[in-house]
């Protein structure tokens, strides 16, 4: 069954510095990969997805993620973090073929320090 | 437009009681998911509905949990004889699913129902 690992519990970064949130995945065959964000007291929102094609995917709010098949990773990045980026970030994976179950990681709390 | 709507937003119940949680998906979304989010933990898959296909119930933690969906509309998640470990936020999500967008359609989440079992 598909699974996601987000190894860090919390990521602290100073405002204006680059932000990276790590994600590795396990899936049978090729993956669909997603990042979702959960702001305080709000529901989860879709950020970006990787299906096929260019390994660098650009999404909402200036975020991007790079698919690395050999390392089975899909790290989320932002060149310059904002205080408003402080939130809970979830990586998710489902197989390209087969079941449609989207498996989520445990989430990473990102804290951007002013 | 309207998003995914869940009710109630909060539910406090006594141990042993049954509860019913409701989800109204986005109109036209054929796929509907239920997830559970315990405090400090990730999203735990519960059940998935896709059109008229048999639901994927593989994530339901016990036979106390069940879910139904009326066509491609409202879904209810029922927990019988609630236990304290059932306390969590129950999230519903819908997507275009297979027919319109294939497996790659992003999920649209509701704000969840916070269930507290005392």
Q: Which pLDDT value is given to residue B103?
A: 56
User: Hey, CA dihedral for B54, B56, B61, B65, is it positive or negative?
Assistant: negative
Q: Which CATH superfamily is domain B5-112 in?
A: Immunoglobulins (2.60.40.10)
- SS3 (DSSP) at B20: strand
- The full set of domain ranges for chain B reads 5-112
Inter-chain contact A44–B93, Cβ cutoff 8 Å? yes
Q: Which of these CATH numbers, 3.40.50.720, 3.40.50.2000, 3.40.50.2300, 2.60.40.10, describes A3-113?
A: 2.60.40.10
Q: Which two tokens stand for residue B40?
A: 């400090």
List the single residue in B with minimal CA-CA distance to A2: B45
How confident is the model over B101-114, as pLDDT tens digits? 455 688 999 999 99
Q: Does B101 touch chain A (CB under 8 A)?
A: no
CA–CA dist B69, B55 (Å, integer): 9
Q: Which pLDDT value is given to residue A101?
A: 81
Question: Would you tell me how many other CB atoms lie within 10 Å of the CB of residue B80?
Answer: 14
Inter-chain contact A96–B103, Cβ cutoff 8 Å? yes
CA–CA dist A50, B106 (Å, integer): 11
Rg (CA), chain B: 14
How confident is the model over A36-79, as pLDDT tens digits? 999 987 889 999 999 888 899 999 999 999 999 999 999 999 99
- The full set of domain ranges for chain A reads 3-113
CA–CA dist B45, B59 (Å, integer): 5
Q: Would you say residue B25 has pLDDT above 70? A: yes
Q: Which pLDDT value is given to residue A97?
A: 73
Strands (E), chain A: 3-5, 10-14, 19-21, 24-26, 31-38, 44-50, 56-58, 64-68, 73-78, 87-95, 103-104, 108-113
Which of the pair, B93 or B1, is modelled with greater confidence?
B93
Q: Which pLDDT value is given to residue B99?
A: 47
Q: What percent of chain B has pLDDT over 70?
A: 93
Q: Which pLDDT value is given to residue B17?
A: 97
Contact yes or no for B72/B64 (Cβ under 8 A): no
How confident is the model over A87-104, as pLDDT tens digits? 999 999 988 776 778 899
- pLDDT band of residue B1 (cuts 50, 70, 90) is low
Q: Which pLDDT value is given to residue B67?
A: 97
Q: Looking at beta carbons, which residues of chain B come within 8 Å of A59?
A: none
Q: Average per-residue pLDDT in chain A?
A: 92
Q: Average per-residue pLDDT in chain B?
A: 90
Helical ranges in chain B per DSSP H: 97-101
How confident is the model over B47-104, as pLDDT tens digits? 999 888 889 999 999 999 999 998 888 999 999 999 999 999 999 999 887 644 455 6
| Contacts with A14 (C-beta within 8 Å, 6 or more apart), sequence order | A81, A112, A113
Q: Which pLDDT value is given to residue B98?
A: 60
Contact yes or no for B33/B92 (Cβ under 8 A): yes
Of A49, A101, A104, the CB nearest to B104: A49
């Amino acid at each position: 069954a598909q699974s996601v690992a987000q190894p860090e519990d919390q990521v602290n970064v100073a405002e204006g510095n680059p932000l990276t949130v790590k994600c590795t995945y396990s899936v049978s065959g090729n993956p669909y990969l997603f990042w979702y964000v959960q702001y305080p007291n709000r529901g989860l929102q879709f950020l970006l997805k990787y299906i096929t094609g260019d390994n660098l995917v650009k999404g909402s709010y200036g975020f991007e993620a790079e698919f690395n098949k050999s390392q089975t990773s899909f790290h989320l990045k932002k060149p310059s973090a904002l205080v408003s980026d402080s939130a809970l970030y979830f990586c998710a994976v489902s197989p390209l073929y087969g079941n449609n179950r989207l498996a989520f990681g445990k989430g990473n709390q990102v804290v951007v320090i002013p | 437009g309207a998003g995914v709507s869940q009710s109630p937003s909060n539910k406090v119940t006594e141990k042993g009681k049954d509860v019913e949680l409701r989800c109204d998906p986005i109109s036209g979304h054929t796929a509907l998911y239920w997830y559970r989010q315990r405090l400090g933990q990730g999203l735990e898959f519960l059940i998935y509905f896709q059109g008229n296909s048999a639901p994927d119930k593989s994530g339901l933690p016990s036979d106390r949990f069940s879910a139904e969906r009326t066509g491609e509309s409202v879904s209810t998640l029922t927990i019988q004889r609630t236990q304290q470990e059932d306390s969590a936020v129950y999230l519903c999500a819908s997507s275009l699913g297979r027919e319109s967008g294939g497996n790659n359609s992003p999920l649209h989440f509701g704000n969840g129902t916070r269930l507290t079992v005392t």
